[in-house]
Structures are given as structure tokens and as C-alpha cells.
Amino acid sequence: MRLSLIRVKIKLTDKFWYKVARTIVKAGRFPFPISDTLIDLLKNLMNEEQARFLLNFKKPSLTLEEIKKRSELDENSIMKMLDELMFTGIIIGAMSNSAGVMVYRLMPIYPGIFEYQFLRGTKTEKDKKVARLFENLFQEMSIGAQKNYESILNMFKDTPATDRTVPVEKEVEVGTESTLPYEDIKKYIEDYDDIALANCYCRHKNELINDPCKIKAPIKNCFLFDKSAKFAIEQEFGNRVSKEEALRIFREAEDHGLVHKVFHVHSDPNIGIEAICNCCSCCCGMLQMYYRGVMPLHTISSYLAKVDEEVCIGCGTCVEKCPMETIDLDDTIAIVNDELCIGCGVCAHHCPEEAMHLERIGPRHVFIPPKKLKTSLS
């Protein structure tokens, strides 16, 4: 992607930090504005020695042997540097199943470094400053994307879906999971022995900038699995949790109207998962990027919400709960806009008359263009 399309006006005099920022941005799939705000953020997350070390990552993932060939540091110093950067969530390390060696991956800004800064749930003055800097970055992205709306939209048309939306389990007709068994939250939990529980990074970041969750959703309900869980536990980003406790927390999330978002390894739904988030529309980074007009909402879903018009009384509960604002009332009957429905099941779970249900039609790619904001900045 051409980063220049969303670059904001900047006056950068520090070429070194600009180079570091560009290296980190290139490690991800999404365009990101390289601005003075980003430089300030990086200076708050790492010292100059650590930043210089990151320049070794000409490609995002390296083994220790590859790092040794690129770095002037000795092996002990490299390991010390890696330990420091893993603890701060700038680099993650995991064992490669195919190669049998540790692979160290440089995290992009978002998704990546952003999440790891808030998983622990700490509330120091530094945390508050970092949260505010991220908020400023997201605002810069909104301004840049709106100014280059058509170009941004074209950029994302060929990128893979960010996540998979999994519906509330009890709203899915019994037996329909047989063809795609991995859509079921309970099945995911049964498949993985290593499960870590952490703070919702999006809601915690919003708390740090005094903009807490509007529906007062629980904050400790972000899950990591398998290698990501092991890394999170080792580096104190999260705690190991039992399958039973995980299921209880998922049920609690459903009762608060949160959306289950599954993140697969390399964004490939045919392989394992890294994390499951329980998202509210007021805090979720992905949903907010859509509402702020920064990027499309691109997810994989197998369901659509359907209304039983003979049962619906037009109470408006589904309108209130829908995270995508896809349901309206027409003559006291709920009407679903299929193009905006992500099949999350929140409406069906909360319908007091049981007039909403999910119909299996997928899997399908749901690609919703970013909001076009009516502001003087667009």
C-alpha cells in the first residue's frame, strides 16, 4: 500500500525516528500516517537503542540466526534486547512448528503494538499519555482517509478480511454447525489447552482518555489462544484461564450485547486462531475505524439476521443493540439491511419476543465501505 496517500502534514527533522516509524508501519497490512504524533508515540514506547535495533527487521519476522547476521550486537545483548521489546509488546516471539526454532516478529502499529500497550490494564501517567497519543493518531487517520476517500477504499478492496464474526451460540439452529465446526465459540475453547485472559485493550484505552464504554461492558474479556496465549502469559500480558471460566465470560459478554470477533493466524480462517475479542461498538478499534471513516469493515460471517414479522412488535430493542446500526423500524416492524449485517446474533439474543433469528447463508465476505463523514475535513 502507498503510505503517502494518508500522510498528514508534518515537519520531521529527525530522520532516524522517521526511518524507525516507517520500518514499523511496513510490518503491517494497513496504511498508517507517519507523523510527528507517531514519532512522539514511539519515543514514549522505546529508547533510541531499542529503536535502532528494530531497523534490523527489514522483514517483519526473523530467527535469532537471521538477527545475528544483521545486528552488530553479540548474542547475549540481542537476547536481552529481544526480552525487553517482547515485554513491552513491540516484538512477539513464538516457536515455529515447521522450522522448530523461535521466530521473532516486529509488530506493526495497528493492529499490533496498540493492543499490547493496554492488555495489562495498568493506569500509569505513561499509559494515559500513550492512550492519548494513539487517540490523536486515529484522528489523524480519519482526517487523511476522508480527504483521500476513494483511494483509501480502493486500497482495501483486495486485502483479506480482518476477522471472523461468530454468532451467539444459542441463536444458531442446532445442527447447522456440522459443515463449519469452527464457528462455534465453545468448539474453539475445547480445541485449545492454552487460553489467556486479558483486559479489553480498546475499552481500557478509552478509560485512560476519560471516554469509558457507553454500555459499561466488562473490561476483562479479551482472549488469546495457543502460541499467542503462551506469549501473553510468559510476558504478563494475561493470565491462564480454565475452559469453564472462559465460557462463563463469553456468556457474560453476550448478555452485554458484545460481538464475538475471531482473529485467525495470518487472517486465514482455515488455520488456527490467535485471539477472540468481545466487542462493543463504542470502543472496538475495528468498529471505530469504520465509524470514523478510516477503513472498511471487512469480516467473514455465515449468517444474516432475519425478522419474523408476525411476531415482531416493533419494540426497538434490536435497533438499540445492533452494533452496525443496520436495523430500522418501518411501520412498527424491524427491517434488516442485509448489506450491513455481520450476522453477530446480538439482535436475536436480546429480542424479548424472539422475533429475530439467524439464517445461515455463508460463509461470506462482508465488506462495508468506511463511513463518509459530513465534516469540513472531508
Model pLDDT for residues 15-57, shown as the tens digit of each residue: 999 999 999 999 988 777 899 999 999 999 999 999 999 999 9
More confident residue, 329 or 3: 329
What proportion of the chain, given as a percentage, has pLDDT over 90? 71
Q: Do both 198 and 285 map to the same domain?
A: yes
pLDDT, position 376 = 45
Residue 365's H or E segment, with its range, is strand 356-368
Distances (CA, A) of 211 to 76, 204, 207, 310: 43, 10, 5, 40
C-alpha cell at 271: 488455520
- Alpha-carbon distance 56 to 48, whole Å? 14
Nearest of 90, 86, 136 to residue 113 by alpha carbon: 90
183 and 319: one domain? yes
Residues 219 and 125 in one domain: no
The predicted pLDDT at position 57 comes to: 97
pLDDT for res 169: 53
Per DSSP (E only), the strands in 189-291 are 195-198, 222-225, 239-240, 259-264, 273-279
Both 62 and 89 in a single domain?
A: yes
pLDDT given for residue 13 in this prediction: 52
E strands, 156-207, are 163-166, 195-198
Q: Verify that 54 and 187 share a domain, yes or no.
A: no
Q: Are the beta carbons of 328 and 250 closer than 8 angstroms?
A: no
Query: Is it the case that residue 181 has pLDDT exceeding 70?
Result: no
Residue that is last in its domain, among 151, 179, 195: 151
Q: Which of 130, 151, 172 is the last residue of a domain?
A: 151
Q: Residue 47 in 3-state DSSP?
A: coil
Domain range for 349: 159-368
Sheet holding 102-106, edge to edge: 61-63, 102-106, 91-95
- Is position 375 within any domain? no
Same domain, 181 and 330: yes
d(CA 261, CA 259): 6
Look at the pTM and tell me if it is higher than 0.85: yes
Q: State mean pLDDT over 297-311.
A: 92
142 with 289, same domain: the answer is no
**193: its cell numbers:** 489447552
pLDDT value of residue 105:
96
Residue 374 lies in a domain: no
Identify which has the larger pLDDT, 181 or 225. 225
pLDDT at 137: 94
Residue type at position 185: I
> Could you tell me the CATH number of the domain that includes residue 32?
1.10.10.10
What whole-number distance in Å separates Cα of residue 121 and Cα of residue 370? 30
Determine the pLDDT at residue 1.
38
Of 109, 78, 110, 105, which is closest to residue 92 (Cα–Cα)? 105
Instruction: Please give the grid coordinates belonging to residue 199.
Output: 483486559
pLDDT in tens, 366-375: 999 999 987 5
What's the domain count of the chain?
2
**Taking residues 311-327, what's their average pLDDT?**
94
Residues 255, 266: Cα–Cα separation, whole Å: 30
Burial 124-161 (b: 16+ CB within 10 A, else e): eeebeebbbbbbbbbebbbbbbbebbeebbebbeeeeb
Say what the pLDDT of residue 151 is.
87
Residue 339 in 3-state DSSP? coil
Residue 12: is its pLDDT beyond 70?
A: no
pLDDT one-digit tens code per residue, 47-77: 999 999 999 999 999 999 999 999 999 999 9
Same domain, 165 and 118: no
Judge contact between 346 and 259, C-beta under 8 A: yes
Q: Which CATH number goes with the domain that contains 291?
A: 3.30.70.20
pLDDT at residue number 351: 95
Of 366, 355, 361, nearest to 171 by C-alpha is 355
Residue 376 belongs to a domain: no
How many angstroms separate the Cα of 77 from the Cα of each of 20, 200, 290, 291, 350?
20, 33, 42, 44, 55
Q: Hey, what's the cell of 60?
A: 517483519
**In the predicted model, what is the mean pLDDT of the chain?**
88
Judge whether residue 278 has pLDDT over 50: yes
